């Protein structure tokens, strides 16, 4: 956490989280309140970031959209990383038929057009909880990471401490739980941080095309989709959610890059010793 990139990304992300979850308690406007006398007004002292096409305060809507996008991004990242860790570790440690069967499933998911599948499933998602959207996004996001985890597990299973645990009678689940997963923790942490940004972008893209979060609820994707029609004439309606989306993804990316560089440096030191 002492790496400059990690510190910078953490500071920006904490600021965004504070705006998203503490801002609505301090800001006087509600995200669903409509003021038809203040439709599409530019930023002012009354409406700090302007208003949207129905007179809603844009900052209040963006804070609400940030809440939903951050929650979806974090939930997808944790779920997809957990699935990738389980599938990749099982395939790499056991090998043989287990490896071939799991990797066949991974290959099948990799060749499927994700957006098309979600579009086909959109009638099922309509009117459902946003948690179902989390499951759908995570279902396609763990595949590449599972291959990386598999390769790492195949390397670790040949190490002396794993062999020693097996000779002492430790079975596969115990070896995976106490030896493989802890040694892959840095890799999984980096993957989880990156997945947050990827999931936020995925949710924004799906919501932009009408397959994600549904009105009256909002996310950054829905706000960008609504504002895109007025991007030229009323640019603040489009640029405000886009700016928050870019800042969020960049902050998460900086954290992941800082962690990666730190782990690479420590690994190089250990190799030299």
Confidence of residue 158 (pLDDT cuts 50, 70, 90): confident
Q: Domain of 97?
A: 4-27+48-271
Provide the percentage of residues in the chain whose pLDDT is more than 70. Answer: 91
Q: Which pLDDT does position 165 carry in this prediction?
A: 86
User: Is the residue at 38 inside a domain?
Assistant: no
Confidence of residue 62 (pLDDT cuts 50, 70, 90): very high
Residue 40 counted as domain residue = no
Residue 162 lies in a domain: yes
For residue 267, the model assigns a pLDDT of 61
Structural domain includes residue 32: no
216 cis-preceded (ω within 30 degrees of 0): yes
- CA–CA gap between residue 81 and residue 247 (Å, rounded): 23
Mean pLDDT of the chain: 84
Tens-digit pLDDT profile for residues 110-120: 887 776 777 67
Q: State residue 122's pLDDT score.
A: 65
- Asked if the model's pLDDT at residue 235 lies above 60, the reply is yes
On the question of pLDDT at 37 being above 80, the answer is: no
Lowest mean pLDDT among 149-158, 234-243, 262-271: 262-271
Query: Global pTM?
Result: 0.84
Is residue 162 within 8 A of residue 156, CB to CB? The reply is yes
Count the domains in the chain: 1
Burial of 104 (0-12, 13-18, 19+ CB in 10 A): exposed
Q: For the segment 84-136, what is each residue's pLDDT rounded down to a tens digit? A: 999 999 999 898 899 999 999 888 888 877 767 776 776 666 666 677 878 88
Is the residue at 88 inside a domain?
yes
Per-residue pLDDT tens digits for 204-227: 887 777 777 777 778 888 888 888
| pLDDT (0 to 100) of residue 15 | 93
The answer as to whether 63 is a domain residue is yes
246 domain residue, yes or no: yes
Q: At 123, which CATH number?
A: 1.10.3720.10
In a domain, 114, yes or no: yes
Gap between the Cα atoms of 242 and 248, Å rounded: 10
So what's the pLDDT on residue 123? 65
Return the residue matching tokens 């959610």: 241
């Amino acid at each position: 956490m002492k790496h400059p990139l990690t510190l910078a990304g953490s500071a920006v992300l904490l600021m965004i989280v504070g705006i998203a979850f503490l801002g609505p308690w301090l800001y006087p406007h509600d995200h669903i309140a409509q003021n038809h006398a203040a439709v599409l007004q530019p930023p002012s002292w009354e409406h700090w970031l302007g208003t949207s096409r129905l007179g809603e305060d844009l900052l209040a809507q963006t804070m609400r959209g940030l809440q939903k996008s951050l929650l979806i991004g974090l939930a997808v990242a944790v779920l997809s990383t957990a699935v990738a860790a389980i599938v990749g570790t099982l395939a790499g440690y056991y090998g043989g038929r287990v490896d071939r069967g799991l990797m066949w499933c991974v290959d099948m998911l990799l060749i499927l057009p994700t957006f098309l599948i979600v579009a086909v499933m959109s009638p099922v998602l309509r009117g459902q909880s946003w948690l179902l959207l989390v499951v759908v996004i995570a279902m396609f996001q763990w595949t590449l990471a599972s291959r990386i985890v598999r390769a790492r597990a195949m390397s670790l299973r040949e190490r002396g401490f794993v062999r020693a645990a097996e000779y002492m009678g430790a079975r596969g689940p115990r070896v995976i739980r106490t030896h493989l997963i802890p040694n892959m923790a840095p890799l999984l942490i980096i993957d989880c941080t990156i997945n947050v940004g990827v999931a936020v972008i995925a949710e924004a893209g799906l919501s932009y095309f009408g397959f994600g979060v549904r009105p009256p609820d909002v996310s950054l994707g829905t706000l960008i989709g609504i504002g895109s029609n007025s991007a030229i004439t009323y640019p603040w309606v489009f640029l405000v959610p886009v700016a928050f989306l870019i800042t969020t993804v960049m902050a998460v990316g900086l954290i992941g890059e800082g962690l990666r560089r730190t782990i690479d440096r420590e690994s190089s030191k250990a190799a030299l010793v």
